[in-house]
Chain A
Amino acid sequence: MTQRPISYAVIRGQVVESDLVEFGGRGGDITFLAPDPHKIVDRLPLGSPSKMEDLYDLSFEQILDFLEELGAHCDVRKNDLLLEAREMSYATAPTTKPIMDVFFDHLPAMFDRDRVRRMCEFSVGVPYLEGWVPRDINGSRVSIRAYGARSLHVVAGNGPVIGALSILRGAVTRSDTLIKVPSNDPFTTGAIARTMCQFAPDHPITKHVAVAYWRGGDEAFEQKLYQPHNIEKIIAWGGFAGVKHVTKYIQPGLELISLDPKRSASVVGAEALETPEQLEETASRIAVDVATGNQTACVSCRMCYVLCGTDEDGIETLKRLGQLVYEAMLRLPQDISTKPKRYDPGLKTQVDALRLNEDWYTVIGGQEGEGAVIVSHTADRVDFYEYLADRTVNLIPVDTVDEVLAVVDAYTQTIGIFPETLREELRHKMALHGGQRFVQLGYAFNGPGLVGPQDGIEPLRRMCKWIISEEPLPTQRKPLWECAEGEAAMVS
């Protein structure tokens, strides 16, 4: 392996590895090389939206054919490019090798033909992607079709699948897909795009994918690229500062689809704590929602509210639950969760501070950087709740569900709830407060995948331009040019 790995740019079927400059290296990061963004900025965007016409020579089934083939080529055991990307990503990724291996192992399955078709049918409706869908309404025949757009994806690096997902979403919506890769995953997406160049360099989908790294906040570069004549939509994942930064380029003709920073939580009802068996099961459910993938995802539970009450008995129950969560977490298999790659030192000093504060908090574990359970003795979450990571969860006792509602806000994505009856009760109120996804506790990572709504919006639908074509139904609308005064009806 070279000393400084390369984040290749891939532009519409061509791999670019010239004019390499160095990036990264701050705060213990590795340094890597990437083509000088300023040298390629003019080649990244698709000059005219009309150049997307070739995508419409493909049928939806042909798109699935391509994706199926791409999936087969993404088998890391047979693909040297991906193998190399995986090796290099071990250093940049926030997670450990066993977890990264699972991400890579599951890449081909993402492109599974039936899975992709089901996702499109569920989220958009294949007929809308494939052609005009007519319906009659108010005396007119209205046909609707979903068109692709020239889209820039600013992807997050906490899981290597997001680049692959962006390519997939771009293909099925017949979009032109430009991906800005992050410094914590600068290799994977490029490797997938290079794979496309190898097996189908002239395929229209390959011709509509461009991947590059530039430093987020490089204003000279961004000012040039982020223009309505280059890009129609920006799909921004990620951190507050990053998304906020992108907003300054938003103007008429350039739309932002913001997958904002999120955190997730869970709520446990008193009924789930009654017997030792229930306590054990609840703990196991909490543990997987917290620790899967080492708590790097927005889906990962970071705070767990427990309706055990704040009296002495309640706190004792919560401490027992905390111990069981800790033990369950350590029992998880390596491909689900491991000891974190590096326990955040800032978080550690805060956890250690609470450890000395036994009147108000019980800290279980966390001495060896393996993760920790922080049991609050009052209905307070820890004040550093925004920093909870590396398998660190805060269990918080509450007397009423109202206390939980108070901490659900627009940053709250997934809420795992147990038992089921409590979910029925809570989801409506929590949705009003800002919560976006409700799951059975223990299933935050074990659901249908990224289908349908995400973060309270529908990204796949919003990636499309929704075009409408109208005609009057025979005999149902009198032509305006034949109307006498007072006869015209134009109801909005």
Chain B
Amino acid sequence: MASMAQTSQAGTTSARSVEEQARAWMDDPHAYFGYSTTRLHSVPRAQMEAVQLAAMNLRLAERRGQIAVLAKLADAQDIDRVDTLDAMAPLLLPHDIYKSYPISLLAKQRFDQIAKWLDRLTVHDVTQVDTDGCASIDDWLMRIQAATPLDVATSSGSSGTCSFYPKSKRDYLISMTGLRIDLLQRFGVEPTDADLHEKIHVVSPGYRDGHATSGRGHHYTKQVFCGDDESFLHCAFNFKISSDLMWLAGRLRAAAAAGDASRIDVPPALLARRAEWEAVQKDMPAQQAAFIQQVTAQLKGERVAAMGLTNMFYTVAKKGLADGIIADFAPGSVVMGGGGGKGVALAEDAEAVICQFFGVDRMLSAYGMTEINCHSVLCEHDRYHVPPMVTPYLLDIDSGQPLPRSGVQTGRYAFFDMTHQSAWGGLITGDMATIDWDTPCPCGRTSYGLEKQIGRVSDFLGGEDKISCAATPSAQAEAMDYLTAIEA
């Protein structure tokens, strides 16, 4: 439990200057709040926003000299400091920035060039990592992992792209620590020693490892939830999902959609691994079945945190129920889904089936993405509560300007997460969200809450029945069933 120190420093806020508080929230937020979900979500809003503003200016001053892309944006906007939270909006980066390198660099395995591109997005120096003889994405990212504080996260899209997000190991740990706090504790109840320190079994319907956060995250949940005990981590698929294969899959789909699967400029070394990928995929049902057996038999009566994508949980739960198997965990166990409403259609009975299989009353849910450290967990009143280290924004779809921070607003979700240790914490997402800025949540948390319905901006803009003869994105129409599931 390296990250869960006993010290509690909250409660003495008046004695500290706002800037000192900001520094503490930025560097080690959960320690500041004594690892308590109650304290985390009880900061008065005025104080929260004052600290957020101070943190923004501290980060801006510090990162401007470290992150070239931010410097360029800040120069172009002529912004040195911000006096309001809204004033930060022009310095939030569009999420597309993390895949904005020419894709041919990847096809030609010019990792030295991609490193140059990535270097402009992080405080850490990735250009020093040796790329000689580097033959794959996995290879390159493992070299970065070994030589720097980074653990770069990838995700690939159906149009054949692959994004690289310069997440640091510390970012991952902050992320998982926050999840442990918000998932295992009840708001209004002081955390027990077990909540803070007990080794908890982690059950995931996904891959044990990978470079996408859904796989790589396990390395860090293991540290934060499992006391670094390998035997406490249970994944449906006990292998590392290769980012090269994921990228290749995306490209194959894109090429097939374009009507000519022979025209993929992927290095032969990667094409040769197609058979390997197919073999792995073939073995997956067997692994999944074994996983269900293991989870239900071995973890009977144990405290478990099951975390993963809802539709992958659904597959597992449905299969388990069909085989007459039901999990029977100890009280205090939780099941957290995610990835719904993001272009992935969920079955209507998904939550009911999952709850029945796992024997829980309610499925927890967190809203987050690769590019954020501090996730928002759904409360009993169906709001995703944004931790105080994150400043949420809703932007007008057309103008990109921040909507008023009052009343009920719906817009493109953006945020500034002050805890980012490597990349710039300001991001404009592709999601549509709604916030009721004025009405306090009946759950008692003071933190801002996103309404449960979160959609994609692209779906919102799609209109109902517009027909145009100009080509619109095609690949999405073809099912990317399991691929979509792991990428959400």
B interface SS class? loop
Do the beta carbons of A261 and B465 come within 8 Å of each other? no
With A380-B102, A383-B161, A410-B259 already in contact, the answer to whether A94 and B94 are too (CB < 8 A) is no
- Output the least CB separation between A414 and chain B (Å): 11
User: Is A182 a contact of B469 with CB atoms below 8 Å?
Assistant: no
CA distance A406 to B414 in the complex (A): 37
CB contact under 8 A between A360 and B100, given known A94-B468, A259-B469:
yes
A398 to B101, CA, bound (A): 17
Q: Which B residues are CB-close (under 8 A) to A486?
A: none
Tell me, rounded to whole Å, the shortest Cβ–Cβ distance linking A290 to chain B: 12
Contact indicator B468/A296 (Cβ below 8 Å): yes
Contact B103 A345 (CB under 8 A): no
Q: Are A239 and B398 interface neighbours, CB within 8 A?
A: no
**Nearest Cβ in chain B — how far from A372, in angstroms?**
14
Residue of A155, A183, A378, A384 touching B104 (CB-CB under 8 A): A378
CB of B465 within 8 A of CB of A215, answer yes
For B255, give the chain A residue with the smallest CB separation. A409
Q: Which of B73-127 contact A (CB under 8 A)?
A: 73, 93-97, 99-105, 116-117, 120
Is the pair A380, B104 in contact by a Cβ cutoff of 8 Å?
A: yes
CA distance A24 to B464 in the complex (A): 6
- Closest Cβ of chain B: how far from A352's Cβ, in Å? 5
CB nearest neighbor in A for B94: A349
B444 within 8 A of A: no
Q: Which of B72, B117, B400, B471 contacts A345 (CB 8 A)?
A: B400
- Select which of B93, B102, B462, B471 is within 8 A of A353 by beta carbon: B93
Nearest CB of A to B349, in Å: 22
Q: Chain A residues with Cβ under 8 A from B99's Cβ?
A: 383
Chain A CB within 8 A of B430 CB: yes
Across the interface, which residues of A come within 8 angstroms of B69, CB to CB?
356-357
Select which of B95, B462, B468 is within 8 A of A349 by beta carbon.
Answer: B95
Residues of A227-244 contacting chain B, CB below 8 A: 237-242, 244
Q: Which residues of A contact B457 (CB under 8 A)?
A: 345-346
Q: Is the CB of A356 within 8 A of B465?
A: no
Instruction: Enumerate chain B residues within 8 angstroms of A154, measured Cβ to Cβ.
Output: 467
Count of chain B residues near A, Cβ 8 A: 50
Give the complex CA separation of A174 and B69 in angstroms. 62
Classify the secondary structure of A's interface with B.
Answer: loop
Q: Of the candidates A26, A217, A356, A378, which one forms a contact with B102 in the assembled complex, judged by CB atoms under 8 Å apart?
A: A378
B-chain residues with CB within 8 Å of residue A94 when the two chains form the complex: 466, 468
Tell me how far the C-beta of B335 lies from the nearest C-beta in chain A, rounded to whole angstroms. Answer: 33
A19 interface residue per 8 A CB criterion: no
Residues of chain A lying within 8 A (CB to CB) of residue B463: 24, 26-27, 29, 183-184
Specify which chain B residues have a CB less than 8 angstroms from the CB of A217 in the assembled complex.
465
Indicate if B159 sits at the interface (CB-CB under 8 A): yes
B102 touches A157 (CB 8 A): no
Contact partners of B474 in chain A: CB under 8 A = 240, 261, 386, 411
Digitize A219-261: 1 where CB-to-B-CB distance is under 8 Å, 0 elsewhere: 0000000000000000001111110100000000000000111
Q: Lowest 8 CB-CB distances: which A-B pairs, in order?
A: A380-B102, A238-B467, A349-B94, A261-B471, A353-B96, A182-B467, A410-B259, A183-B465
**Could you list 24 A-B pairs, sorted by A, with CB under 8 Å?**
A25-B464, A27-B460, A27-B462, A157-B468, A162-B469, A182-B465, A216-B467, A237-B467, A238-B468, A261-B471, A262-B469, A297-B469, A298-B468, A298-B471, A342-B398, A345-B457, A346-B430, A357-B97, A357-B117, A360-B100, A386-B474, A409-B260, A434-B259, A434-B260
In the complex, besides A183-B467, A353-B95, 5 extra interface pairs with C-beta distance below 8 angstroms are: A28-B461, A216-B467, A244-B477, A297-B470, A348-B400
